[in-house]
Chain A
Amino acid sequence: MSISYSEVSERAKRASAIKLNSNFITLNSFGWLHFAGSGNGELVVNNKNDMLPPHPSIELLLANASNLIFDELNKITFIVDEQFNNGAKQQNNPLSNILNYSKYLDVLVTHFPNSGTISSSVNKLLNSSIDKLTATATATSTDHVTLLSCCSIALSCGGEFEFDTITDPNLSKDKIVEIFKSVRGLEFVSSASASSSSSEQNARSSFQLFKWETLAQLSQLIFSINDSNLVDYSFELVNFAAGELSATPTNAIKYLFETSMCAAEFYINNSTTYPSDVTLKSLFSAMWATIEEEEKAWRKKVSERSAKWVQTATSTTKLTHSIYFAPSSLGAGYGHCLLPGRF
């Protein structure tokens, strides 16, 4: 059941008319109404349909949670030097760790849209990462991977640029274009102390993934306003994306296409001369070729999984059986306590 905010407001008025002992009306995720205080962090709206911020104690928790996520993100390293490894167990895949923390932050942003601390923390993450990324010429490529991941996560969670010294919107846009160009210019450089080719390969793939994800999100910003100064650059960007296609890992292809599509659309809408379709055609033919390759790989994977279906079904039956009839597998208890009574 979905419910509009105006209806929420109406119901709030009716509720106050019958003098229910509650100051706030809350809307939970199923769209149901229930009455509660504002202490539990639910989304709370007033009679004018304005979202109210969460209770300060909840804001404190959210600030701590987001800071914890940022700390964990900054701790993730891609290349572990062998001389410090001492044969210890290899750490978890750093890329999956980053994606996990990205998901956590996304969940917080989605479920607490009224939180000011989360959005300001995300903005802070974006701006500090961008500053480090553009300022430090001595940073290694592995540092860049972490910084790029922070940028892409912050942008995907709705982070906004804050330029303290710039008040003119046009200058802000120019600054974002500058950032875009410097991110585009980043290249992965092999580390001399890299322990293994696999960890370096992992870092390189992650670098490409986060670089293109950041560029895709930035391109939506810079190509959203008609600006004749960017026409040549947009065409150059399409050519650049076409050239990078073969060197881009498959998980980053989607973002490469988003970037080039954004630039191509901008070029077609703003170019005064008839656009040459050669580059666009080569880009789209390469895109289809990649999609076909992906489809082949997917079909192969599905057929392999289908072959395992019988084995899976057997395992599932065993699982059910073990819960009910083989209590030792779950420790003493559940198997004994469940009797097929009415079954």
Chain B
Amino acid sequence: MKVRLKIVHPDAKIKFLNNFAKFLTTTEVANPPPNPSQVLFLLSLFPSPLNPNSPFPFMDSLKQHLSNLPNDFLSKAPGSIASAFLTMDFPAPKLPASKTAQSIALLAALSPLQSSALWASINKGLASAHSSAYSDPVKTHKALLLLIHGCEHLILGGE
């Protein structure tokens, strides 16, 4: 599927995404539950906040929607997904690595775990990046992306 989501005015885009997130809260989740790639694809539509003092209004709606997913997805999945992101490629729908990392960071920001969901994976990817000759460059790069997007989603570091 190829979708071009280009909206001229940023406010219009945020308004659309807010309505979309509200619509998601009105849906009910039935079996089979979505796989993580599909959830990440959905979250990739939502940008990171530009200003730490004004988080986007869609966060609450997204959180409500994701907490409706079965098997306690919101509290259990982010850490596992972040860990899997370093070592494997997710199945379709495919996203670029940067977009995937952005979606994982958003998922972690919505979950009660917040930064704890990401630090383990970041540590795994970056801790030996320069001390080991055998560190995997792809894994290291993905850990860096998680760190950057975690900061952008305001769950890592402090501004």
**Which residues of A come within 8 Å of B, CB atoms?**
1-2, 26-31, 40-44, 57, 60-61, 63-65, 67-69, 104, 107-108, 110-114, 302, 305-306, 308-309, 312, 315-316, 318-320, 322-324, 329-334, 336-343
Contact = CB atoms under 8 A, between A and B. Distances in A.
Among the interface residues B1, B4, B141, B158, which one has the most CB atoms of the partner chain A within 10 A?
B158
B52 interface: yes
A340 B27 contact: yes
A26 B4 contact: no
Contacts of A324: 27
Contact of A104 (B4, B140, B144): B144
A65 B147 contact: yes
Contacts of A57: 123, 127
A112 B157 contact: yes
A65 B55 contact: no
Contacts of A336: 30, 32
Contacts of B31: 337
A337 B140 contact: no
A30 B42 contact: no
Nearest to A320: B20
Given A43-B159, A68-B144, A329-B1, 13 more contacts: A2-B53, A29-B52, A40-B115, A44-B158, A64-B127, A65-B147, A67-B130, A68-B141, A108-B151, A114-B158, A312-B6, A323-B42, A334-B39
B148 interface: yes
Given A43-B159, A65-B144, A333-B32, A343 B27 contact: yes
Interface centre among A1, A30, A44 (most CB of B within 10 A): A30
A305 B13 CA distance: 14
B28 interface: yes
Given A331-B93, A337-B33, A342-B26, A28 B8 contact: no
Contacts, number: 156
Contacts of B141: 68
A25 to B, nearest CB: 12
B107 interface: no
Contacts of A339: 27-30
Interface residues of B, number: 53
A342 B33 CA distance: 19
Nearest to B122: A61
27 contacts: A2-B53, A26-B158, A28-B158, A30-B52, A30-B154, A40-B115, A42-B115, A61-B127, A65-B144, A107-B148, A111-B159, A114-B158, A305-B6, A312-B6, A316-B7, A316-B16, A322-B3, A323-B42, A330-B93, A331-B37, A331-B92, A334-B38, A337-B30, A337-B33, A342-B28, A343-B26, A343-B27
B129 interface: yes
B88 interface: no
Nearest to B53: A2
Interface of B: 1, 3-8, 16, 20, 23-24, 26-35, 37-39, 41-42, 52-53, 55, 91-93, 115-116, 119, 122-123, 126-127, 129-130, 140-141, 144, 147-148, 151-152, 154, 156-159
The 7 closest A-B pairs by CB, nearest first: A43-B158, A111-B157, A341-B28, A29-B154, A111-B151, A29-B52, A343-B26
A198 B69 CA distance: 50
Contacts of A319: 3, 5
A284 B47 CA distance: 38
Nearest to A309: B8
A17 to B, nearest CB: 24
Contact of A341 (B8, B26, B37, B119): B26
Contact of A107 (B33, B42, B130, B152): B152
A52 to B, nearest CB: 11
Contacts of B154: 28-30
Contacts of A1: 53
A48 to B, nearest CB: 17
A339 B26 CA distance: 9
Nearest to A328: B1
Contacts of B140: 64, 68
B148 A337 contact: no
A325 B144 CA distance: 36
Contacts of B115: 40-42
Nearest to A302: B8
B129 A316 contact: no
